[in-house]
Amino acid sequence: MKAIIMAGGEGTRLRPLTCSFPKPLAKLCGRPVVYYILDLLDKHGFDEAIFTLGYKAGQIEELFETGQYKNVKLRFSREEFPLGTAGCVKQAVSGDTAYVEDFLVISGDALCDFDLTAAVHEHRNSGAGATVITKRVNDPREYGLVLSDESGAITGFSEKPSYLSCIGDCANTGVYVLSRSVMELIPDGIQCDFARDVFPQMLADRQHGGLRAYEESGYWCDIGDFTTYIQSQQDILNGKVKCYVDESRRHGNNHIGRNVSIGENTIVDACIIGDNVSIGSNVKLQGAVILDSAFISNGATVNYAIIGANAKLQHSVSVYEGCVIGEGCVIGREAIVAGAAKVWNGKHVRPGANVTKDIKHSGFKATLHALDATQLSDTGVTGETNVDITPEFCARLGAALAVTSAKRTPAARRIALSCEDNNASKAMKLAVIAGVSGAGAEAFDVGTATQPQLLHAAGLLDCGIVARVKCGIFAQVEVSAAYGLQLTRVEERRLEAALARSEYKNADWNGFGEIHSLQGYFERDLYASMLRNHAGFKSAYRLKINCNNEILTCVRIH
């Protein structure tokens, strides 16, 4: 048996999620919805299927580049322009001798577990030209309805009727079994739909074997909006759909993907969480769908909302019922998104904002904290670790620092860097160093030296810029001139411009600046000697320094 999988729609009602991929690739419990359709075809013995493709066709072709899914051979038919449900099927089977017998037409973006074997058997026994699989629904107003008599012969159609005009509750599921003769009713190369054009013509002419309805009792969900997108995944988890579920991903009433980290005191209830998601501490997730590689920081709340792939929710963000955060969005600290608002892909919401309307056309400009060398806790660039301050951002910052020092004397176009003693700080420091070198300046890596140690080394090395990285939940890159002096206002503006507009020069391959590793510069004895020399007095007392820095803790001054 052969099948046609209609997968050319744009999925406009699921935007912004479907801005970057076709609707059949929307994930349900970690798997593209089209996988569930292919599993169903394989289960009922279908040996070949043709995808009708339009919107972002290449992504589906790439996903199935082997041309095979389990026991189902796959082929593709692209629409150059929209041909409608019937037109695209006609194009797919034209001239294909494999489709001279009955074949199935099914949507690539709906979830169902119909008994396709029984439907095909009923179609063949009835001698119908087309069999429409129907399903009783609770609210007929949202669907195209099929009207039939007791024998199953279709007597009429009703498209999304009003409450008063509802005379049936059997929805057209968009799953059909067709005889090849029906293709004669479909014109070539123009838009044509089964429900709007072909079936009414068959009903009026009573030719080509007639129309019949086959009522199914199995599960069916037309994933037409975000409510059904969330509900269908809950139904999968609750066992309402006969389909494959990776039981290793099921944790209570949640589906949790691979490589997911969840912090302490975090509540996760009835949620779908994709792969590579990072969730902080004291987070509350209720009925949420969190897609791949999203980041949710400490104290955030997400209730019955969707968080897109690679989106970032900063500290104490709240996202409420019906809201959708698009792919790659950044929602600033303590911001609130409510009122079923949609934040489209790549948008940034400023900290503390209260969003109740869609954000589709807007921009975001990063800002720098004031560079004030007299208040070290407020110096430099700050933000949430791996949300605002990322390795990518640090590389840009390194290049910007190289530009900032470029107007100094050539000998002073050197940058000294150190960091706190933790993996995040070390990684960010290395990224800054890479940016400095890539912009052609010299970088001196002083390891995990303290700020006084770093300033002392920078003075000895004639470095024009000093930077120190400190990472916890929030990250800070402290920036100053040599000896801890404040950058001039001109230099501050140069740094800000370089970061905001990427106004820095990338060196060619042999123009990278040299990287000097000075991580052993402050061995214990050397630093103790330096402190004694700078003390300039003698004392009968023995002094021991106690602090979190291992090097300083071991220093004794006599």
Q: Which two tokens stand for residue 174?
A: 């968009």
Per-residue model confidence as pLDDT tens digits over 263-289: 999 999 999 999 999 999 999 999 999
Q: Which two tokens stand for residue 141?
A: 């107003």
Q: How far apart are CA 389 and CA 314, in angstroms?
A: 12
Mean pLDDT confidence for 417-435: 95
Q: How far apart are CA 34 and CA 41, in angstroms?
A: 11
Q: How far apart are CA 471 and CA 552, in angstroms?
A: 20
pLDDT over 90, % of the chain: 55
- pTM to 2 decimal places: 0.75
Contacts for 302 with CB less than 8 Å, ≥ 6 apart: 283, 284, 285, 286, 288, 290, 296, 313, 318, 319
CB-count burial class (<10 Å; 0-12, 13-18, 19+) for 12? exposed
**What pLDDT sits at residue 523?**
56
Q: How far apart are CA 415 and CA 479, in angstroms?
A: 10
Residue whose C-alpha is closest to residue 326's, from 357, 294, 285, 364: 294
Q: Specify the DSSP class assigned to residue 69.
A: E
**What pLDDT sits at residue 314?**
92
Per-residue model confidence as pLDDT tens digits over 182-239: 998 999 888 999 988 998 888 887 766 689 999 999 999 988 889 999 999 999 999 9
Per-residue model confidence as pLDDT tens digits over 474-485: 899 999 888 888
- SS3 per residue for 171-223: EEEEEEEECHHHHHHCCCCCCCCHHHHHHHHHHHHCCCCCEEEEECCCCEEEC
Q: How far apart are CA 283 and CA 266, in angstroms?
A: 5
Q: Judge whether 461 and 415 are in contact, CB under 8 Å.
A: no
- Reported as half-sphere exposure (CB side, CA atoms, 13 A), residue 481 has a value of 16
One-letter amino acid at 148 equals S
**Is the model's pLDDT at 370 over the cut of 50?**
no
**Is the model's pLDDT at 449 over the cut of 80?**
yes
**Is the model's pLDDT at 535 over the cut of 90?**
no
Q: Which two tokens stand for residue 429?
A: 């420091």
Q: 533 or 66: which carries more pLDDT confidence?
A: 66
Q: How far apart are CA 342 and CA 349, in angstroms?
A: 12
Mean pLDDT confidence for 435-441: 92
**What pLDDT sits at residue 484?**
83
Contacts for 380 with CB less than 8 Å, ≥ 6 apart: 369, 371, 467, 476, 477, 478, 479, 480
One-letter amino acid at 412 equals A
Helix H or strand E encompassing 534? helix 524-535
Q: How far apart are CA 84 and CA 79, in angstroms?
A: 10
Q: How far apart are CA 305 and CA 226, in angstroms?
A: 9
Q: Judge whether 93 and 50 are in contact, CB under 8 Å.
A: yes
